[in-house]
Structure 1
Amino acid sequence: MEYFIIALKIIVALSLLNVWLLQFNKSTKWRGGNAKNMIEEFRAYGLPAWMCYVVGFLKVTLSLLLLASIMYPELENTAAIGLALLLSGSISMHIRIKDPMFKFLPAAIFLAMCLIIALI
């Protein structure tokens, strides 16, 4: 079970780091509304651009903490629960603007993974 949790941590953390560091200014099929980049996505949700940077900072920091929790288990719950809360917010924003389900499916999967990490 330990290796399974480690695998989940790596998958979640690297996926979120990819979204926020490598895909930030790129168009993807998962962007909310008709957004072409992360700033446009936050605007589609009716949120100010500065909020994008706050959420991005939190997601990157918590993703790094999730990776660090492989060696420092005391970081695990903080990182997993923090990411779960942020991912819940992502899902609610997609629902709020009536995005089709496929657009928030990745966030839902990562939310489930974070909950497994935190609860097992």
Structure 2
Amino acid sequence: MQTLDYIIIALKVIVSLSILNVWLIQPKKNTKWRGGDATTIIEEFNCYGLSKTICYIIGFLKVSLAILLLVSIKFEELTIVSSLGLATLLLGSILMHLKIKDPLFKSFPAFLFVVMNLIIAYFSY
């Protein structure tokens, strides 16, 4: 394995565990990154004008794609769909922050993870 391969694996782990942390461990925790004045992930989606059902659908997709991204460390053919899928959903997160006129810093984690996913996809293609 080359150095780049290890970097891609590290990025996959960082992105996946971060997404899983947000959706499975801290969905009810207040953070400075939450949209609007929300203190939970459900409240955040409400600030965006999105329903609880949409929150659950997005959560399911993000968790599933994060797990696939981890699995792609062993099964590389899953890399493109999982990294680009996450990048797309995270781009949606950025757009939602912009929609409600959040300060730009609240979009930073999503932006960072979009970039990381695009790097993963680019160097895995």
| TM-score tier after normalising by the smaller chain length | over 0.9
Q: How does 1:1-120 map to 2 (within 5 A)?
A: 1-120=4-123
Q: What is the identity, as a one-letter code, of the residue corresponding to 1:32?
A: G
State the percentage of identical aligned residues.
58
Displacement of 1:48 in angstroms is: 0.8
Q: Name segments (4+ residues, structure 1) moved above 4 Å.
A: none
CA distance in 2, matches of 1:100, 1:63: 26
Displacement of 1:37 in angstroms is: 0.1
The unaligned stretches of length 5 or more in structure 2 are: none
Give the RMSD, CA atoms, in angstroms: 0.4
The unaligned stretches of length 5 or more in structure 1 are: none
CA distance in 1, matches of 2:122, 2:102: 29
Displacement of 1:28 in angstroms is: 0.6
CA distance in 1, matches of 2:5, 2:29: 35
How high is the TM-score relative to the length of structure 2?
0.95
Displacement of 1:27 in angstroms is: 0.6
CA distance in 2, matches of 1:37, 1:44: 11
CA distance in 1, matches of 2:52, 2:108: 24
- Which whole-Å deviations, capped at 9, do the CAs of 1:1-27 have from their partners, x for residues lacking one? 000000000000000000000110111
How high is the TM-score relative to the length of structure 1?
0.99
